[in-house]
């Protein structure tokens, strides 16, 4: 298979639909059942599941790319509470986490637009022009040609403030503009007093002085040299052609079932690799396809997590039907894992809710429990800001939870954090 082509004929698609009908139907039912449970669950549980799903997906994608990172390190790095210096794997996972969150907040119709995809992978516009910037590093993401020619002027060559004739300009000969005339009422009588006319004349003198100073400073203006930017993409990589081939695969599978079309999107992305510097974004884009089809309207499935936890391992040397069958199984696994996480969060909330029985009406312990459900990590400072109580009150409430208190994930005696992850 060529790196910029993906073969999916009409007859091949019909054969895949006929062969994979049973797993596609089972996976669709699992996804729809999970999405309906999220729609009917309390908002705090649904938000908590979505937040943890992003974390689990970032860790799984880091593992699939060969970087082993712990979930606690990702959570602490995301909250700015690193116990140790973050490794490259943690930074990579954090970048994927932010990318996935950004895509999850956008509408599917906006994410899958060809122009938006080109800006995402940095191939928008013509070669040599900067069209997009990376949100995290601030570096240019498009194809940039290094400026080889020297600048027209150097910073240490200070231009001399001479006029056209080579003489130093006389400040007294510079035109300061028209002088202000006193206002009258139309009959020749001045409207302002002598003091007002004096104030106007002083302001006019100040304005003239500022204008003359600005003109003199313009003479000393040093032109800035052109910035020499790094080349972040291989010009022979052909990212634009690969992206066009991926969009062609989506177009060919638009009449296929949603789950099969998603598996085709993942398989084509892994085969073509349109994004030279971040191939993991293809999993989030394929999940967005499920949202666009209306299968998962309330969450973004973690396809990478299902592929990481399942037994199937994708390889370009496998047959197309085998690859798609394994990816459909991974999608089913991700739905099953998310359903188990929702049950786990519901059970944890019920256990901690028993410690809230018999409390006074103004007790904030129930709100602390909901904070544990909505956020993967909770600190004393965070609880103080959310609950509007003192740090001492948060410490007391943590002790009142007793054995149902979530585990502490920092391993420190100070600046600790707890979370249900």
The CATH number of whichever domain residue 385 belongs to comes to 1.10.10
**Dihedral sign of CA atoms 227, 233, 234, 236 in order:** negative
In a domain, 53, yes or no: yes
What residues have CB less than 8 Å from 30, skipping those under 6 apart?
332, 335, 336, 339
Distance, in Å, from the CA atom of 362 to the CA atom of 379, rounded to the nearest integer, reads 22
Is the pLDDT higher at 122 or at 318? 318
Are 295 and 378 part of one and the same domain? no
In a domain, 297, yes or no: yes
Range of the domain at 75: 10-123+234-346
Q: What is the tens place of the pLDDT at every residue in 362-403?
A: 889 999 999 999 888 899 988 998 899 999 999 999 999 988
Are 241 and 334 part of one and the same domain? yes
pLDDT band at 203 (very low <50, low <70, confident <90, very high): confident
In a domain, 374, yes or no: yes
Is the pLDDT higher at 139 or at 348? 348
Tokens encoding 35: 């999405």
CA angle, residues 86, 117, 101, in degrees to nearest 5 = 40
Q: How many domains does the chain have?
A: 3
Are 342 and 243 part of one and the same domain? yes
Domain boundary among 282, 313, 346: 346
In a domain, 136, yes or no: no
pLDDT band at 162 (very low <50, low <70, confident <90, very high): very low
Are 365 and 337 part of one and the same domain? no
Are 367 and 338 part of one and the same domain? no
**Token pair 């690969």 is at which residue?**
242
Check if the beta carbon of residue 4 is closer than 8 Å to that of residue 238.
yes
User: Above 70 in pLDDT, residue 298?
Assistant: yes
pLDDT band at 2 (very low <50, low <70, confident <90, very high): low
For the chain, the average pLDDT equals 81
Residue percentage of the chain with pLDDT more than 90: 51
Distance, in Å, from the CA atom of 377 to the CA atom of 360, rounded to the nearest integer, reads 26
In a domain, 176, yes or no: yes
Is the pLDDT higher at 139 or at 315? 315
Read off the pLDDT of each residue in 35-59 and give the average, rounded to a whole number. Answer: 94
Domain boundary among 187, 219, 251: 219
Are 340 and 391 part of one and the same domain? no
Whichever domain contains 64, its CATH number is: 1.10.3290
In a domain, 305, yes or no: yes
pLDDT at 206: 85
User: Above 90 in pLDDT, residue 60?
Assistant: yes
pLDDT at 84: 85
Q: What is the tens place of the pLDDT at every residue in 267-277?
A: 999 999 888 77
Domain boundary among 346, 366, 389: 346
In a domain, 166, yes or no: no
Least confident of 53-67, 91-105, 146-160, 211-225: 146-160
Is the pLDDT higher at 165 or at 23? 23
pLDDT band at 214 (very low <50, low <70, confident <90, very high): confident
Least confident of 196-205, 254-263, 341-350, 405-414: 196-205
pLDDT at 156: 33
pLDDT band at 161 (very low <50, low <70, confident <90, very high): very low
Read off the pLDDT of each residue in 243-271 and give the average, rounded to a whole number. Answer: 94
Are 380 and 315 part of one and the same domain? no
pLDDT at 363: 87
Are 249 and 177 part of one and the same domain? no
Read off the pLDDT of each residue in 399-415 and give the average, rounded to a whole number. Answer: 87
Are 112 and 238 part of one and the same domain? yes
Read off the pLDDT of each residue in 74-100 and give the average, rounded to a whole number. Answer: 90
Are 282 and 252 part of one and the same domain? yes
Please state the length of the chain: 421
Read off the pLDDT of each residue in 206-229 and give the average, rounded to a whole number. Answer: 67
pLDDT band at 237 (very low <50, low <70, confident <90, very high): confident
Are 337 and 252 part of one and the same domain? yes
Task: Check: pTM over 0.95? Answer yes or no.
Answer: no
Are 14 and 119 part of one and the same domain? yes
In a domain, 262, yes or no: yes
Read off the pLDDT of each residue in 291-303 and give the average, rounded to a whole number. Answer: 93
């Amino acid at each position: 298979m060529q790196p910029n082509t993906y073969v999916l004929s009409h007859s091949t698609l019909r054969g895949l639909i006929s062969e994979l009908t049973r797993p596609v139907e089972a996976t669709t039912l699992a996804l729809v059942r999970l999405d309906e449970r999220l729609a009917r669950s309390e908002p705090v549980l649904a938000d908590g599941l979505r937040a943890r799903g992003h974390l689990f997906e970032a860790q799984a994608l880091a593992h699939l790319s060969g970087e082993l990172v712990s979930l606690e390190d990702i959570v602490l790095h995301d909250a700015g509470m690193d116990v140790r210096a973050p490794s490259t794997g943690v930074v990579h996972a954090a970048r994927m986490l932010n990318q996935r969150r950004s895509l999850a907040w956008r509408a599917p119709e906006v994410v899958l637009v060809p122009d938006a995809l080109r800006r995402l992978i940095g191939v928008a516009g013509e070669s040599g022009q900067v069209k997009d910037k990376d949100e995290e590093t601030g570096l240019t993401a498009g194809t940039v040609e290094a400026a080889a020619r020297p600048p027209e002027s150097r910073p240490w060559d200070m231009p001399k403030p001479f006029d056209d004739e080579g003489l130093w300009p006389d400040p007294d000969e510079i035109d300061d503009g028209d002088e202000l005339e006193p206002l009258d009422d139309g009959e020749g009588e001045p409207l302002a007093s002598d003091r007002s006319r004096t104030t106007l004349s002083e302001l006019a003198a100040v304005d003239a002085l500022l204008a003359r100073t600005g003109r003199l400073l313009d003479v000393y203006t040093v032109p800035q040299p052109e910035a020499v930017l790094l080349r972040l993409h291989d010009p022979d990589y052909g990212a634009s052609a690969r992206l066009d081939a991926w969009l062609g695969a989506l177009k060919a599978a638009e009449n296929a079932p949603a789950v099969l079309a998603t598996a085709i999107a993942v398989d084509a992305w892994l085969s073509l690799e349109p994004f030279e510097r971040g191939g993991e974004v293809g999993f989030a884009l394929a999940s967005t396809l499920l949202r666009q089809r209306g299968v998962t309207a309330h969450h973004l499935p973690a396809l990478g997590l299902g592929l990481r936890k399942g037994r199937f391992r994708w390889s370009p040397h496998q047959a197309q039907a085998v690859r798609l069958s394994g990816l459909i199984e991974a999608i089913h696994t991700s739905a099953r894992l998310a359903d188990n996480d929702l049950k786990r969060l519901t059970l944890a909330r019920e256990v901690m809710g028993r410690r809230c029985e018999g409390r006074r009406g103004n007790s904030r312990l129930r709100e602390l429990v909901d904070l544990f459900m909505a956020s993967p990590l909770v600190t004393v400072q965070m609880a103080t800001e959310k609950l509007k109580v003192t740090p001492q009150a948060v410490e007391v409430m943590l002790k009142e939870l007793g054995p149902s208190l979530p585990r502490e994930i920092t391993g420190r005696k100070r600046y600790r954090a707890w979370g249900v992850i």
